[in-house]
Amino acid sequence: MSNAALAQSLIRAVNEAASAASLLEAVQQLAAAQLEETIPTLIATLSYNNPGAAVAAVDGLVAIGKPAVQPLLDLLDSHNYTARAWAIRALAGIGDSRGLDELLDAAQNDFALSVRRAAARGLGTLHWYELASDRVQAAQVAALTALLKVCQDPEWVVRYAAITGLQALASAASTLQPNLVLDIQHHLKQFAETETDLTVRTRICWAQQQLRAPSTSSPSLVYATDIGIGLELDWQRTVDNLYQRKFEERSHTLPEGDPRRYKKLVEVLQTH
């Protein structure tokens, strides 16, 4: 079946669902297909009073990602409160930078804690690289300001989400704004002393632990700019060693695909 035909049959199942349970199942299947053609139907589902189906639709929209952003932003203009709340959750999950203003507002002002929670998380995980470089710094400062306010939310789970947002923001900002990272660490230290909820306090400790640990994800651009040539030399040496080792292994006539080759490569990488 072609994608279009598949989408049509899945959409029909949603439209013809006669009970809450069958609607849920139809939306789950529609969401699992991850087809752009299904976006309008998934979005329509957000307006039905069926939380299970809405959760499935949000998951589907997040999986589809970018193509769903503009339709979601359009939906935010509607006056259907429930639909707005789900749309914010989907935007937070997608992380598209076009949702920034909505997330800033929702994290601080929405009356439903599930929306504040999702928006606070989304503020940390936004795709900053999509923004023009001259906008990133201001946007990250705006996110930090909002998240610090959200850390005072009366609901523990919203504060928890804000901590995860701060941690993610610190990781993202380390490339362009090392000072922001220091600010975040400073605030985390303060929150750790005043936070009354044990779960949130534990999450703060974990965030601090991870921000203290050297980044294991990608080689940070901070180092590239700060240390500059030193780092380049290191990488050069690593690559040299790698080729050297490969050459040696080849000369030891290890058969193609022998796992020992891989093991030695790992060792070489780990020593640098």
Partner 1 sequence: MDEFTSEQFGADSSADQAASLTIEQAIANLQGDDWGQRYYAAWWLGRFRVRTPEAVEALIASLTDEADRTPDGGYPLRRNAARALGKLNDRRAVPALIQCLDCSDFYVREAAAQSLGSLGDRAAAEPLLQLLAGGVEAAQPIPGCPHLAQPYDAVIEALGALGATAAVPHLQPFLEHPTAIVQYATARALYQLTGEAQYGERLVTALSGSTLQLRRAALADLGAIGYLPAAEAIAETLAENSLKLISLKGLLEHQVNQTPSSEVSAEAIRVMSLMDSLL
Size of the site for partner 1 (CB under 8 A): 27
Q: Which of 8, 29, 34, 114 binds partner 1 (CB under 8 A)?
A: 114
* 242 near partner 1, judged by CB under 8 A: no
CA distance 139 to 131: 9
Enter the tokens of residue 249. Answer: 């292994």
Smallest separation, CB 52 to partner 1 (Å): 7
User: DSSP states of 162-186 as a string?
Assistant: HHHHHHHHHHHHTTT-HHHHHHHHH
- The reply to whether 166 sits near partner 1 by the rule CB under 8 A is no
Q: Does 213 bind partner 1 (CB under 8 A)?
A: no
Among 10, 23, 69, 85, binds partner 1 (CB under 8 A): 85
Judged by CB under 8 A, does residue 164 bind partner 1? Answer: yes
Contact pattern for partner 1 over residues 5 through 44, marking x by CB under 8 A: ----------------------------------------
Could you tell me the smallest distance in angstroms from the CB atom of residue 251 to partner 1? 42
Among 76, 156, 223, 261, interactor with partner 1 by CB under 8 A? 156
Out of 27, 144, 159, 160, the residue judged to bind partner 1 by CB under 8 A = 160
Instruction: Select the span of 4-12, 204-212, 226-234, 246-254 touching partner 1 (CB under 8 A).
Output: 204-212
Give me 209's structure tokens.
């632990």
In angstroms, the Cα distances linking 76 to 86, 117, 128, 136, 226 are 10, 17, 22, 24, 42
Residues between 48 and 77 with contacts to partner 1, criterion CB under 8 A: 51-52, 55
Q: How far is CA 77 from CA 80, 136, 169, 221, in A?
A: 9, 26, 28, 39
What does the alpha-carbon distance between residue 269 and residue 272 come to, in Å, rounded to a whole number? 6
Q: Which is nearer to partner 1, 160 or 191 (CB)?
A: 160
Side-chain-facing half-sphere of 216: CA atoms under 13 Å? 4
**The binder of partner 1 chosen from 159, 187, 203, 264 (CB under 8 A):** 203
Alpha carbon 87 to its chain centroid, in Å, reads: 16
Task: Compute how many other C-beta atoms are within 10 angstroms of the C-beta atom of residue 151.
Answer: 24
- Asked if 158 contacts 120 with a C-beta cutoff of 8 angstroms, the reply is yes
Question: Residue 121 is encoded by which pair of tokens?
Answer: 């998380």
The single residue among 29, 137, 185, 202 that binds partner 1, judged by CB under 8 A, is: 202
Under rule CB under 8 A, residue 111 binds partner 1:
yes
Q: Is 16 exposed, middle or buried (0-12, 13-18, 19+ CB in 10 A)?
A: exposed
Q: Does 228 bind partner 1 (CB under 8 A)?
A: no
What value does the CA radius of gyration of the chain take, rounded to a whole number of Å?
Answer: 23
Q: Where do contacts with partner 1 occur on this chain (CB under 8 A)? A: 51-52, 55, 85, 111-115, 117-118, 120-121, 154-157, 160-161, 164, 198-199, 202-203, 205-206, 209
